[in-house]
Amino acid sequence: MNTIKNLTYLFLTILLLPQCTPEQTPNNQNKTNTKSTLLDEHSFAKSDAITKHLKLNLTADFDKKTLTGYARYKIQNQNATKIIFDTKDLNITSVTLERDQKTGFKLGAKDDHLGQPLEIDILPTTKEVTIYYATNPTSEAVQWLTPQQTADKKHPFLFTQGQAILTRTWIPCQDSPGIRMSYDADITVPKDLMAVMSASNPTEKSADGKYHFEMKQPIPPYLIAMAIGDLEFGEIGAHTGIYAEPSMLKKSLYEFGDTEKMLVAAEEMYGKYLWDRYDIIVLPPSFPFGGMENPRLTFATPTVIAGDRSLTSLIAHELAHSWSGNLVTNATWNDFWLNEGFTVYFERRIMEKLYGAEYAEMLSLLGYQDLEADVNDLESHDTHLHLNLAGRNPDDGMTDIAYEKGYFFLKLLEEKVGREKFDKWLSNYFKEHAFKTINTKQFIEYLTESLIKPNNVEVDIAEWVYGPGIPNNCPKVISDRFNLVDAAVEQVETGSAATIKTRAWSPHEWLHFIRHLPTDLSEAKMKEIDNAFTFSKSTNCEIQAAWYEVSIKNGYFKNNLADIEKFLIVVGRRKFLTPLYRAFKESGNLETGRAIYAKAKGNYHAISVQTMDGLLGVE
Ligand code: BES
Ligand code: ZN
């Protein structure tokens, strides 16, 4: 099969890129689309016919755990006689051209990560292709939740997660970030539930369980998303609102009450918001990420609802993706840092504008700590900004390197040219690349011509982008507030935990505190700290996760195992699961970790299951 793939690739490369080496693709939208796909190792969809609009028609059956219907595509066809789609774990029943002409199709051999190419016979004149299909209960993007797994425990729930290459597990599509299409959808769900998508959304349930959606702007397939549940809508501001289960709505509206202000701040800095509305859906806690930037409708974990608005940088982050990622999109998953590094930079600028420099500095310093940890843990070649993920799951490249090394590279550029020039440059970058994809090579060319040369900046771009680790000229962040916390950590070691002054500490300071506790604290000292600050019973997920990790690492977990277990069973957010299960494994307590996992696994989304199965060596 790989041979077929390679031959197809070779053939098309010769056909379409006669004088280009990889990455020398010109910055032209239509051509970029064709060629970016050709260069994307994570998509089979290398053909001369490209999807431009999707009409999706699906019915959700919660008993059978299937979505059934069709995906109808308008295609841009350059005389092709074949069109190739990505699929994984789908049952394709038939394919038609121009509505009702049946045509031949063939599913290629299976690849563990990529799934199967679906090759459809078309005519050089074909403009429309319809694929009739159904998903399987195991389709990885989709999590079907029982009422018990929701906040209100009354109705089932469904959500999808497309990034990076899972949209193909619920929609046959040309699943490369280099492809863009608009879409509309007709979705039928049980009458007591509401469906929402990364598109125009209803604010009330329909009487017949039928919903229509439109996404008029062209987006890459990884941003097509859907959720179905007992949802209610509440307004934050004129352009912003929340979808949540009834019992979560009020809390969520309070927690994310500054969202409209964030939107205004973002627009003031980097140009108009081009997606009309910005809403957030608060999902059940098994959602494998903190947030996902599905256009018009960010998908968010309920674990950030801390009650004190302390974790809302997540919303600033997902909102920022409306520019970096959704408007200007990484061409392949090797260029993931272009999505995430820019977004972290933008996120921190929003937070600074709303809550001040001190706040943003704390976030940056915590980010720097994450970066250092990843640089220590990862193999050197995985610490480059530009990655080579050929033959690997793109998930392997989705580490803090893209986020934090990316952030610090942009921060360095900002410091070199000054904020005013940098902001102008960044606004222009978004404007000039809106609704386009960009790869690392193209980005460096753009950066060199539009910022580096005009300002005579001296910076070794290659060292940052193609080299390992943290370059020496990485900007240093100083946080006075964290310096005070460092002093408190020392006091705790030598004196009593109860006497340190912590009254006005934010959760970020607490997080810094926990992260800097020595790893060899005695059980008595751990108990003293836990009694003084009740970390084991914290309601802030970041504090819980950090404290549980220390507890596991130094053996204190025997005192709070019930709390850790409860957390691991309810929360499916991979960012928290990975360090906790890893701590069990690396501290010689693998069996304890496995026993908890056996109870929790049924609650996790396939994305988290895949990572934890690998980590804990279970199938
Ligand atoms: N786009 C990512 C989530 C993602 C990354 C999904 C890679 C699939 C593959 C999202 O914007 C994100 O970065 N979420 C973070 C939160 C953020 C505040 C750093 C998360 O989920 O933890
Ligand atoms: Zn992100």
* Residue 16, in any domain of the structure: no
Average pLDDT, the chain: 94
Query: CA angle, 329 as apex, 377 and 11 as ends, to 5°?
Result: 90
Work out the angle between the directed axes of helices 541-553 and 523-533 (0-180°, nearest 10): 170
3-state secondary structure 34-92: HHHHHCCCCCCCCCCEEEEEEEEEEEEECCCCEEEEEEEEEEEECCCCEEEEEECCEEE
Is residue 124 located within the same domain as residue 66? yes
**Is 273 tagged catalytic?**
no
The DSSP-derived string for 149-211 is GSSSSSS-EEEE--TTTTGGGTS-B---TT--EEEEEEEE--TT-EEEESSS--SS--SSSEE
Give pLDDT, residue 39: 84
> Where is the domain boundary, 227, 257, 287?
227
Tokens standing for residue 38 = 């050709």
Residue 103, Cα to own-chain centre: how many angstroms? 36
Q: Which residue's CA is minimally distant from atom 10 of ligand 1?
A: 292
Please check the confidence at residue 27 and state whether its pLDDT lies above 60.
no
Closest by CA to 175, choosing from 339, 45, 30, is 45
Q: Give the CATH number, domain containing residue 56.
A: 2.60.40.1730
Give residues (CB < 6 A) around ligand 1.
163-164, 289-293, 314, 317-318, 321, 340, 398, 403, 575
Check: CB of residue 216 under 8 Å from CB of residue 182: yes
Q: Which residue's CA is minimally distant from atom 15 of ligand 1?
A: 290
Which of 198, 289, 336 to probe ligand 1 with, by most ligand atoms within 8 A of CB?
A: 289
Using DSSP, state whether 225 is helix, strand or coil. coil
Give pLDDT, residue 99: 85
Is residue 353 located within the same domain as residue 412? yes
Give CA–CA dist 344/408, Å, rounded.
Answer: 9
The DSSP-derived string for 306-319 is -SSSTTTHHHHHHH
Check: CB of residue 5 under 8 Å from CB of residue 44: yes
Check: CB of residue 242 under 8 Å from CB of residue 282: yes
Check: CB of residue 99 under 8 Å from CB of residue 128: yes
pLDDT tens readout for residues 553-612: 999 999 999 999 999 999 999 999 999 999 999 999 999 999 999 999 999 999 999 999
Ligand 2 midpoint to CA 161 (Å)? 13
Is residue 343 located within the same domain as residue 293? no
- Count CB neighbours of 555 within 10 A: 16
Ligand 1 midpoint to CA 391 (Å)? 22
SS3 content of the chain, % helix, strand, coil (to 5): 45, 20, 35
Ligand 1 atom nearest residue 398's Cα: 7
Ligand 2 midpoint to CA 195 (Å)? 24
Q: Select which of 318, 361, 414, 549 is catalytic.
A: 318
Size (the chain), residues: 619
Is residue 71 located within the same domain as residue 194? yes
Q: Which residue has the tokens 């001040």?
A: 356
Give CA–CA dist 239/221, Å, rounded.
Answer: 24
Is residue 401 located within the same domain as residue 297? no
* Residue 496, in any domain of the structure: no
Give pLDDT, residue 38: 60
Protein residues near ligand 2, an ion, with CB under 5 A: 340, 343
Ligand 1 atom nearest residue 163's Cα: 8
619 pLDDT tier (thresholds 50, 70, 90): confident
Give pLDDT, residue 566: 98
Query: CA angle, 334 as apex, 328 and 335 as ends, to 5°?
Result: 25
Tokens standing for residue 514 = 């926990």
**Is 318 tagged catalytic?**
yes
Give CA–CA dist 293/295, Å, rounded.
Answer: 6
* Residue 296, in any domain of the structure: yes
Is residue 205 located within the same domain as residue 262? no
Is residue 339 located within the same domain as residue 452? yes
Q: Which residue's CA is minimally distant from atom 16 of ligand 1?
A: 290
pLDDT tens readout for residues 160-192: 999 999 999 999 999 999 999 999 999 999 999
Phi (first) and psi of residue 86, to 5 degrees: -95, 140
Q: Which residue's CA is minimally distant from atom 14 of ligand 1?
A: 291
Say which ligand is closest to the CA of 574.
1
5 pLDDT tier (thresholds 50, 70, 90): very low
Using DSSP, state whether 215 is helix, strand or coil. strand
Say which ligand is closest to the CA of 291.
1
Stated pTM of the model: 0.94
Give CA–CA dist 85/452, Å, rounded.
Answer: 40
Q: Which residue's CA is minimally distant from atom 7 of ligand 1?
A: 398
* Residue 315, in any domain of the structure: yes
* Residue 180, in any domain of the structure: yes
Ligand 1 midpoint to CA 21 (Å)? 32
Please check the confidence at residue 23 and state whether its pLDDT lies above 80.
no
Q: Give CA torsion, residues 304, 407, 611, 68, to 10 deg.
A: 70
Domains: count for the chain: 4
Give pLDDT, residue 265: 98
Q: Select which of 222, 403, 581, 604 is catalytic.
A: 403
Q: Which residue's CA is minimally distant from atom 11 of ligand 1?
A: 292
pLDDT tens readout for residues 203-217: 999 999 999 999 999
Which residues span the domain enclosing 575?
Answer: 504-616
Ligand 2 midpoint to CA 347 (Å)? 9
Check: CB of residue 367 under 8 Å from CB of residue 404: yes
Q: Give the CATH number, domain containing residue 550.
A: 1.25.40.320
47 pLDDT tier (thresholds 50, 70, 90): confident
Beta strands 328-330 and 436-438, pairing class = parallel
Ligand 1 atom nearest residue 336's Cα: 7
Tokens standing for residue 246 = 């009834």
Give pLDDT, residue 37: 55
Give pLDDT, residue 67: 99
Is residue 119 located within the same domain as residue 201? yes
Is residue 291 located within the same domain as residue 271? yes
